Copies of this chain bind each other. A is one copy, B any other.
Amino acid sequence: MTMVTCDLTVSLDGYLAGPNQTPSEPLGEGGEELHRWMFEEPEANAEEIKGILSSRAYIMGRNMFAGPGDGPWAADWRGWWGEEPPYHAQVFVLTHHPRPPLDMDGGTTFNFVADGVEPALAQAREAADGGDIAVAGGADTVRQFLSAGLIDELRLHVSPIILGGGARLLDGVGKLKLEPIEVGGTGLVTHIRYRVHH
């Protein structure tokens, strides 16, 4: 059965990105440090990294595809990930600017959905064909899905750093019924899997 998951790396003070995000520093000041666990310890964290990249369909917010602020959004913007993005699946981008699907190398297609969260999820569900769907980010998009009770499993990767400002995941998300079902980690990250009860 399809499970809707969400993997997010957050700082210990709850930020998904540091202060002052710009097109040249999309993760904000200090935000690059969040992801040290992936780049410096790929073997120790192999299971979690695989979990992030093995979904059958992805959903992401406009900013995650096109960058913060006005961003380089344009008819010819092809995302941040080069010609072969790591998704290898259908990706549904929430947007107010519809455009035709964009086929990338390696089996990734970016689809642009202008009519909201539920239709995006319905399309992703069809594409996933019984496999799992990942809500990939950013903070606003994840918060919308969490608040609407649409996420089944929240997997937080808590980086032991203090960002002190930026985009906070859980502010304004409302009450959630969470149950930690697995914990683990290394010296650079603590992994906590939460089941979200509806």
Contact = CB atoms under 8 A, between A and B. Distances in A.
What copy number does this chain have within its complex?
2
Interface stretch (A52-60, A61-69, A168-176): A168-176
A183 B190 contact: yes
A13 interface: yes
Q: How large is the interface on A (under 10, 10 to 19, 20 to 34, 35 or more residues)?
A: 20 to 34
A183 B180 contact: no
Interface in A122-173: 158, 160-162, 164, 170-173
A72 interface: no
B194 A192 contact: no
A85 interface: no
A174 B164 contact: yes
A118 B158 CA distance: 31
A178 interface: yes
A162 B178 CA distance: 9
A164 B172 CA distance: 7
| A-B CB proximity, top 6 nearest | A160-B178, A13-B170, A183-B183, A180-B190, A179-B187, A14-B14
11 contacts: A12-B178, A160-B178, A162-B173, A164-B174, A180-B186, A180-B187, A181-B187, A183-B183, A183-B190, A190-B190, A190-B192
